[in-house]
Amino acid sequence: MKNPFITIGLMSLFFGTTIKAQDTVHVIAPPPSFHVVEFGARFMPTFSSFDMQTSSGGTIKGEVTLGYGVGALLGINFTNHVGIQGEIIYNSLSQKYKDQDLERKINIRYINLPILLSLNTGKSRPVNLNAVLGAQFGYNVGSSVSGSGSAGTDTLTAVLAVKKSDIGFAYGAGLEFALNTTRTIRLDLGFRGVYGFVNISKPTATTEQNSYYILDHANVDTKSGYIGLTFLF
């Protein structure tokens, strides 16, 4: 081309288009997003242990006995690694012990409300390791005691008196496994422990003659495994 200005213009247009195309090809994809809301359900086999009182006034440690819990959780994830979750759990805590030749079994039922801080290796990852800790508030919804065998204490009636409310420290850890390609449905496996700060026995309750209280300065102390499903939105 004889006109140098036309030549320079065409060259500028060519190189500008090439650079723009290269820039488009090398755009870095944004990091995976995380889902803010989380909902789930769990089944929780639970082991509990209480200090029991015998008819003679002594203290005996009850056997570690398997109970269960079922519950649901609702979580809010602030980032891919930090969140908070609230749960509602129905727990049936069982305990066996032996008083002379008489075997007894108690059952205490609670509605528990844990409020927990959640720390995660990555909610958007195929496998996420998490740890939780926080407070648990409990409300007693019933209790019962049964026995079998015979002893010299047959004339004494065992009384199970439990306070209505409890508060404790909850802690645990778990693994989440993504079950779909979008990683929004997850299998949830883990451990949960709770230690109560309140003496749940209620020795001030009125008892009839020839009766005694079973619980002796007892605090809730449970260890649970859990399995469940969670859904991210």
pLDDT band at 30 (very low <50, low <70, confident <90, very high): very low
Which is more confident, 203 or 103? 103
Give long-range contacts, CB 8 A cutoff, 24+ apart: 80-84.
80/32, 80/34, 80/120, 80/122, 80/123, 80/124, 81/119, 81/120, 81/121, 81/122, 81/123, 82/117, 82/118, 82/119, 82/120, 83/38, 83/117, 83/118, 83/120, 83/123, 84/115, 84/116, 84/117, 84/118
Does some domain include residue 156?
Answer: yes
Which is more confident, 60 or 122? 122
Host domain of residue 226: 36-232
Q: Which residue is associated with the tokens 């409020």?
A: 115
The pLDDT, as a whole number, for residue 153 is 47
Q: Is the pLDDT of residue 159 over 80?
A: yes
Does some domain include residue 170?
Answer: yes
- Residue 16's alpha-carbon distances to 59, 89, 111, in angstroms, are 88, 64, 68
Does some domain include residue 172?
Answer: yes
- What number is the average pLDDT over the span 108-130? 97
The pLDDT, as a whole number, for residue 184 is 95
pTM above 0.85, yes or no: no
The pLDDT, as a whole number, for residue 139 is 98
Q: Is the pLDDT of residue 224 over 50?
A: yes
- DSSP assignment, residue 209? T
Residue 9 has φ and ψ, to the nearest 5°, of -65, -45
Does some domain include residue 26?
Answer: no
Domain count, the chain: 1
What is residue 17's three-state secondary structure?
helix
The pLDDT, as a whole number, for residue 97 is 84
pLDDT band at 19 (very low <50, low <70, confident <90, very high): very low
Percent of the chain with pLDDT over 70: 80
Q: What is the DSSP pairing of strand 82-99 with strand 37-48?
A: unpaired
Nearest to 136, CA basis, from 111, 117, 119, 113 = 113
Distance CA 4, CA 22 (A): 27
Q: What is the DSSP pairing of strand 157-159 with strand 211-213?
A: parallel
Domain CATH for 96: 2.40.160.20
The pLDDT, as a whole number, for residue 55 is 74
Does some domain include residue 24?
Answer: no
Distance CA 109, CA 86 (A): 20
List pLDDT tens digits, range 124-139. Answer: 999 999 999 999 999 9
Q: Side-chain half-sphere of 119: how many Cα atoms within 13 Å?
A: 7
The pLDDT, as a whole number, for residue 155 is 60
- DSSP assignment, residue 164? S
Does some domain include residue 19?
Answer: no
Q: Give the chain's count of helices (H) and strands (E).
A: 1, 12
Does some domain include residue 30?
Answer: no
Does some domain include residue 7?
Answer: no
The pLDDT, as a whole number, for residue 202 is 86
The pLDDT, as a whole number, for residue 113 is 98
